[in-house]
C-alpha cells in the first residue's frame, strides 16, 4: 500500500520564511518525520512526497535513508492548491506502477506533512478500516467548541448539533480506484480528499483520530510540536 504526502504548501500562516514541510522540529524536517512515521507504522510500503519544485533535491536527500528494497520513496512536484499537489502525487504513483515494488496497491493514504506527529496506531486504524471494506476513511475527533454557521456579513444563521460534528485529520484512506475516480471527476479544489469522494457519492467512514495528529499551522502549533517531542524543553 502507498501513501501520498502533500508537502508543497508555502506555510504562510506559520510564517517561517520557508515552505512549512521543510521547517525542522529538533533537527528533522516535518516532511522527513511524516514520511518516516508512515513507514514506521509498518502498514505503508511506498511513499510519494509532493514538494515545491525548488525543494526536490533537498527532499530526495532527506528521504534517501527511508528507501530500501521493500520501500519505494518517490519525490515529485506540487501545484498551486493542495488538490493539485495530491493529483500530481497520484500521477507519480501511477507512473511507478510497473516498478517491481508497486504492482497494485490495496490501499492509498493521503497524509499531510504538516501532521508529522501522527502516531502509528492512528495510521494503522485507517488502513485497517479500508482493508475491512470501507472505500474511504477519515480519522476524526469530537468537536469541543460549539460551532456556528454564519452568513456573508458574519451573522449567525444556525448552530449545528455539536454531537454530530467531527474534526477531520489525516491520513485519510481509500480504495485506490475510488480515490483515483474522485480525482478524475474533481473539477475544483476541496480541503480534504474524502470531500471529493463524497461528491462522487462514495460513503466515507470514520475511525478515531489522535490529538497528536494535529496539523502544524501556526507558530503556536510549532511550539506545541516541539514540546510534544521534548517535554522537558521550556
Strands 24-25 and 2-6: unpaired
Of the candidate residues 6, 9, 19, 171, the single one contacting Mg ion (CB under 5 A): 9
Segment 37 to 56, residues that bind ligand CTP, using CB under 6 A: 50
11 lies in the binding site for ligand CTP (CB under 6 A): yes
d(CA 175, CA 134): 8
Q: From 109-117, 140-148, 182-190, 204-212, give the range in contact with ligand CTP by CB under 6 A.
A: 109-117
Q: Cβ(72)–Cβ(3) under 8 Å?
A: no
DSSP β-bridge partners for residue 168:
140
Of 194, 198, 14, the residue nearest 116 (C-alpha): 14
Segment 72 to 91, residues that bind ligand CTP, using CB under 6 A: 78-82, 85
Peptide bond into 171 cis (omega under 30): yes
7 lies in the binding site for ligand CTP (CB under 6 A): yes
**Least spacing, CB of residue 95 vs Mg ion, in Å:** 26
**Least spacing, CB of residue 7 vs ligand CTP, in Å:** 5
148 lies in the binding site for ligand CTP (CB under 6 A): no
Q: Which residues, 6 or more positions from 180, have their beta carbon under 8 angstroms from its beta carbon?
A: 90, 94
Q: What sign does the dihedral 42-48-53-59 (CA atoms) show?
A: positive
**Least spacing, CB of residue 81 vs ligand CTP, in Å:** 5
Count of residues that bind ligand CTP according to CB under 6 A? 22
d(CA 163, CA 82): 29
**Least spacing, CB of residue 159 vs ligand CTP, in Å:** 27
**Least spacing, CB of residue 7 vs Mg ion, in Å:** 11
Nearer to ligand CTP, 21 or 25 (CB): 21
Helix (H) or strand (E) holding 173: strand 172-174
Contact positions toward Mg ion, by CB under 5 A? 9
Contact positions toward ligand CTP, by CB under 6 A? 6-13, 20-21, 50, 78-82, 85, 112-114, 215, 217
Amino acid at each position: 500500500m502507498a501513501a501520498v504526502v502533500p508537502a508543497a504548501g508555502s506555510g504562510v500562516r506559520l510564517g517561517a520564511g520557508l515552505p512549512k514541510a521543510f521547517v525542522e522540529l529538533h533537527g528533522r524536517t516535518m516532511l522527513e518525520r511524516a514520511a518516516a512515521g508512515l513507514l514506521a507504522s509498518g502498514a505503508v510500503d511506498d511513499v510519494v512526497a509532493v514538494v515545491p519544485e525548488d525543494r526536490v533535491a533537498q527532499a530526495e536527500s532527506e528521504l534517501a535513508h527511508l528507501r530500501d528494497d521493500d520501500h519505494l520513496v518517490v519525490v515529485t512536484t506540487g501545484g498551486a492548491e493542495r488538490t493539485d499537489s495530491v493529483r500530481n502525487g497520484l500521477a507519480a504513483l501511477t507512473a511507478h506502477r510497473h516498478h517491481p515494488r508497486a504492482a497494485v496497491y490495496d490501499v492509498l493514504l493521503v497524509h499531510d506533512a504538516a501532521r508529522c506527529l501522527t502516531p502509528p496506531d492512528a495510521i494503522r486504524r485507517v488502513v485497517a478500516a479500508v482493508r475491512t471494506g470501507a472505500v474511504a476513511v477519515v480519522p476524526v475527533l469530537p468537536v469541543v467548541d460549539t460551532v456556528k454557521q454564519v452568513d456573508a456579513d458574519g451573522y449567525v444563521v444556525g448552530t449545528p448539533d455539536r454531537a454530530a460534528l467531527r474534526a477531520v485529520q489525516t491520513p485519510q484512506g481509500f480504495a485506490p480506484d475510488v480515490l483515483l475516480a474522485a480525482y478524475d471527476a474533481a473539477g475544483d479544489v476541496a480541503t480534504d480528499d474524502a470531500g471529493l469522494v463524497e461528491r462522487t457519492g462514495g460513503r466515507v467512514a470514520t475511525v478515531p483520530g489522535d490529538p497528536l495528529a494535529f496539523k502544524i499551522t501556526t507558530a503556536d502549533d510549532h511550539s506545541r510540536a516541539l514540546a510534544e517531542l521534548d517535554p522537558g524543553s521550556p
